[in-house]
Chain A
């Protein structure tokens, strides 16, 4: 069965960095685009970033562009989100999601989420 397991969240000071991981199993990782979506406490969903199945194209929300970097390791079946220059407003639960649609995106599979808290 499809499994997505995020890790790497925690408490970090403003301006510092953190790397999130999303371990994928139960499917052919290289066949699917992958996304990161976050949710601040008590708030709605916010799309963060996406990477195509072959890694050739990457996309970012304006709110994280230039600070966050998405990547994937096919040998480890793992998706990453490198987060730099973190701000208080980046505090959220971060979900990874598999993209099953080509027109253009839908997410039938999500991880359980990992909480990132940016605070001094």
Chain B
């Protein structure tokens, strides 16, 4: 069972917007910044968002991140079929002194 809680799946039509939630606690999300990753089948994860809301160079502005208290959210607008993937949130847990990930959310673009 993952420390961070994500919905197992979300879906939306092409062109629409979707949000993926990530819930934690005071020792992880509440104390540390959150990153978001996209993983296509058979490939290594790709960093989409770091430090809660920053995008690495090359990541489109359609991807956004936010955090409030012990929860974080990934938003994706203008959905494309190529966005179909698994998405993971991650952070550090100050109590565990270790990294933690969410269980992952499978995005389906209908």
The interface of chain A, by Cβ under 8 A from chain B, is: 35, 37, 44-47, 50, 59-62, 95, 100-101, 103-108, 110-113
A1 to chain B, nearest CB (A): 13
Establish whether residues B97 and A59, one from each chain, have CB atoms under 8 Å apart when the complex forms: yes
B101 CB contact (under 8 Å) in A45, A50, A62: A45
| Number of A-B residue pairs having CB atoms within 8 Å of each other in the complex | 73
The interface of chain B, by Cβ under 8 A from chain A, is: 2, 32-33, 35, 37, 39, 44-47, 50-51, 56, 86, 88, 90-92, 96-104
Alpha-carbon gap, A108 to B46, bound state (A)? 7
Name the 5 nearest CB pairs between A and B, nearest first.
A47-B99, A106-B50, A110-B44, A44-B104, A104-B92
B90 CB contact (under 8 Å) in A47, A50, A108: A47
**24 A-B Cβ contacts within 8 A?**
A35-B99, A37-B99, A44-B86, A44-B103, A45-B45, A45-B90, A47-B99, A50-B99, A59-B99, A60-B98, A61-B98, A62-B96, A95-B44, A100-B50, A101-B35, A103-B33, A103-B51, A105-B90, A105-B92, A106-B35, A106-B51, A107-B35, A107-B45, A112-B44
Interface class of chain B by DSSP: strand
Of chain B, the residue at the smallest CB distance from A110 is B44
Establish whether residues A47 and B51, one from each chain, have CB atoms under 8 Å apart when the complex forms: no
Residues of A close to B100: CB separation below 8 A = 47
B4 to chain A, nearest CB (A): 10
Establish whether residues B102 and A107, one from each chain, have CB atoms under 8 Å apart when the complex forms: no
Establish whether residues B101 and A44, one from each chain, have CB atoms under 8 Å apart when the complex forms: yes
Of chain A, the residue at the smallest CB distance from B44 is A110
Residues of B close to A101: CB separation below 8 A = 33, 35, 50-51
